[in-house]
Amino acid sequence: MNKHTVQTVEISAVDIDRTGSMKQGDIAPTRLAAAQAAAVEFVKRKRVLDARDVNTIVAFNTGAQTVSPFGRHPWEVTNDVRGLTANGGTSVTSGLRKSLDAIMQEAKRHPHATRRIILLTDGEHNTGPAPREDGVLAALRSNRVIVDCVLIGKNGEQLLREIAADTGGEFLRVSDFQTLLDHYRHLASKKAGAWRP
């Protein structure tokens, strides 16, 4: 295999919005359940395509927490995300900040890996400083972390488009479960492209 066909390791963080509005059932059975299933599908697909890739799951509302650390098997990830409940307001910044910190820590083990965040939310950022004001967008750019943004519902599109554009990621708004799963499979099956400032 020549050097042009060798793909690098990829470090990914999957951010799940667990705010109160994620209880809604417009994507069956609920927005949160759909997001959980998509996150697990992403990890499963990654493991099949390139077992060297490493993934973590972060959940956020007014704050953020690591739900499933790097290195977990898909069945462990399934158990990790199962206990999530939907409540609280929306701090997109906290999810991005938690994921950035986790990715940069993991990057010490994989210094040449590509770095990505899959950010899913269903609403406007409404708690604490916005990502640009906080400085996390600048930090993502300087650390070459690509953010692919997924919107469920109709609110928050402008911010997510800005985050994706600023970091060289993709934006997609989804309105049904199958499209969500298919998109996460797509995100898992492609390596992040060359960094675009």
**Phi and psi at residue 15, to the nearest 5°:** -95, 120
Instruction: Give CA torsion, residues 18, 137, 66, 70, to 10 deg.
Output: 130
> Is residue 161, in this structure, part of any structural domain at all?
yes
> Is residue 131, in this structure, part of any structural domain at all?
yes
* Residues belonging to the chain: 197
First CA to last CA across the chain, in angstroms?
30
pLDDT at 83: 92
Range of the domain at 110: 10-189
pLDDT at 193: 53
Mean confidence (pLDDT) of the chain: 92
pLDDT < 70: residue spans in the chain: 1-6, 191-197
> Is residue 194, in this structure, part of any structural domain at all?
no
Any idea what the CATH number is for the domain that residue 85 is in?
Answer: 3.40.50.410
Centre a 10 Å sphere on the Cβ of residue 8 and count the other Cβ atoms it contains: 14
pLDDT at 2: 39
Model confidence, pTM: 0.93
> Is residue 173, in this structure, part of any structural domain at all?
yes
pLDDT at 136: 98
Q: Is the dihedral of CA 42, 114, 50, 78 positive or negative?
A: negative
> Is residue 3, in this structure, part of any structural domain at all?
no
Structure confidence by residue, pLDDT tens digits, 138-164: 999 999 999 999 999 888 999 999 999
pLDDT at 76: 97
pLDDT at 6: 53
Count of domains observed in the chain = 1
> Is residue 2, in this structure, part of any structural domain at all?
no
> Is residue 195, in this structure, part of any structural domain at all?
no
Closest-CA residue to 122 (of 25, 12, 13): 25
> Is residue 20, in this structure, part of any structural domain at all?
yes
Structure confidence by residue, pLDDT tens digits, 22-33: 999 999 899 999
